[in-house]
Amino acid sequence: MPLKLISGMMKASGDEALLIMERDVGGDEIVLVTKEALFDIADPPLCNECRLQQYVTVFSEIASNKFDGKKLTSDGHVAVTATDVSAWKALHPDAA
């Protein structure tokens, strides 16, 4: 059951982003998007609100796929990392 994006925002520290995503059943999922993921999604490397919003659908697609595949962090959450971005870019060479 895929997650659906509700909202995305940078953390106050400016070092990471959060996506609020809706589950089909059972509430919402908070997804962490790492600084490195934001840097690696496109050139020039940026970690800001503009970059997040530009690629929020990509980050939410990655997060939903990880959630469905039960690829969760040790505390049971979803985190989008630079490794995930690299894998996505390999599958979508003309998109990023």
What would the pLDDT profile of 4-29 be if each residue is shown by its tens digit? Answer: 999 999 999 989 999 999 998 878 99
In a domain, 76, yes or no: yes
In a domain, 72, yes or no: yes
What is the count of structural domains for the chain? 1
CATH of the domain at 36: 3.30.160.140
Place of tokens 């982003």: 17
What would the pLDDT profile of 62-91 be if each residue is shown by its tens digit? Answer: 999 999 999 999 999 999 999 999 999 999
| Global confidence as pTM | 0.93
- pLDDT of the residue at 94: 84
- pLDDT of the residue at 95: 77
Domain that holds residue 13: 4-91
Long-range contacts made by residues 33-36, C-beta under 8 angstroms, separation at least 24? 33/8, 33/59, 33/63, 33/79, 33/80, 34/79, 34/80, 34/81, 34/82, 36/81, 36/82
In a domain, 47, yes or no: yes
In a domain, 24, yes or no: yes
In a domain, 28, yes or no: yes
In a domain, 96, yes or no: no
